[in-house]
Amino acid sequence: MGRSRRKKPLLEKLEIIDVAAEGKALGKIDDRIVFVTKTIPGDIVDVQVTRKRKNFYEGYPVKFHKYSEKRIDPFCEHFGVCGGCKWQPLPYEEQVKFKEREVLNNLRRLGGIELPEHRPILASKQDRYYRNKLEFTFSNNRWLTEEELNSDVEIEERNGLGFHIPGMFDKVVDVKNCYLQPEPSNSIRLEIKDYALKNGLTFFNLREKGGFLRNLIIRTSPTTGEVMVILSFYHEDEEKRIALLEHLKNKFPEITSLMYVINPKGNDTISDLEIKLFAGKDHIIETMEDLKFKVGPKSFYQTNSLQAYELYKVAREFAGLTGNEIVYDLYTGTGTIANFVAKNAKKVVGIEYIPEAIEDAKVNSTLNNITNTAFYAGDMKDVLNSELFEKEGKPDVIITDPPRAGMHADVVKAILESSPDRIVYVSCNSATQARDLKLLDEKYSVKEIQPVDMFPQTHHVENIVLLKKREIVVLPEHIQINVNS
Each residue's pLDDT tens digit, 89-122:
999 999 999 999 999 999 999 999 989 999 999 9
Q: Please name which of 456, 479, 480, 460 lies closest in space to residue 470, comparing C-alpha atoms.
A: 480
pLDDT value of residue 3:
46
Same fold? 93-126+304-483, 133-288? no
Give the pLDDT of residue 6: 64
Mean pLDDT of the residues in the chain: 93
Instruction: DSSP for 144-155, please give it.
Output: PPHHHHH-SS--
Q: So what's the pLDDT on residue 475?
A: 59
Q: 25-29 and 133-139 as β-strands: parallel, antiparallel, unpaired?
A: unpaired
Cα end-to-end span (Å), the chain:
69
Give me the pLDDT at residue 144, please: 83
Task: Say which CATH architecture domain 93-126+304-483 belongs to.
Answer: 3-Layer(aba) Sandwich (3.40)
Pairing, β 227-233 against β 213-220:
antiparallel
Model pLDDT for residues 372-412, shown as the tens digit of each residue: 999 999 999 999 999 999 999 999 999 999 999 999 999 99
| Per annotation, catalytic residue among 76, 82, 178, 428 | 428
**154 — pLDDT class (breaks 50, 70, 90):** confident
DSSP letter at 23? Answer: G
Q: What is the mean pLDDT of residues 46-72?
A: 93
pTM across the whole model: 0.91
Class of domain 133-288: mainly beta
CA atoms within 13 A on the CB side of 387: 4
Residue 252 clears pLDDT 80, i.e. is over it: yes
Distance CA 329, CA 409 (A): 17
Mean pLDDT is lowest, of 79-93, 178-192, 220-234, for: 79-93
For residue 136, the model assigns a pLDDT of: 97
Kindly indicate the confidence band of residue 432, based on its pLDDT and cuts at 50, 70 and 90.
very high
Q: What DSSP assignment string belongs to 413-436?
A: HHHHHH--SEEEEEES-HHHHHHH
- Split at pLDDT 50, 70, 90, the class of 149 is confident
pLDDT on residue 2? 45
In this prediction, residue 1 has a pLDDT band, given cuts at 50, 70 and 90, of: very low
**Hey, where are the domains in the chain?**
10-71, 93-126+304-483, 133-288
Percent of the chain with pLDDT over 90: 85
Fold of 10-71: OB fold (Dihydrolipoamide Acetyltransferase, E2P) (2.40.50)
pLDDT tens digits for range 4-57: 456 788 999 999 999 887 778 999 998 899 999 889 999 999 999 999 988 899
- Whether 76 is catalytic: no
Please determine, for residue 483, whether its predicted confidence score (pLDDT) is greater than 60: no
pLDDT 10s digits, 348-377: 999 999 999 999 999 999 999 999 999 999
Using alpha carbons, select from 294, 417, 300, 285 the residue that is nearest to residue 362.
Answer: 294
Cα 332 to the center of its chain, rounded Å: 15
pLDDT of residue 111: 93
Residue pLDDT, tens place only, 290-306: 999 999 999 989 999 99
Burial status of residue 420 (CB atoms within 10 A of its CB: 0-12, 13-18, 19 or more): buried
For residue 156, what pLDDT band results from cuts at 50, 70 and 90? confident
Q: Cα separation of 428 and 330, whole Å?
A: 14
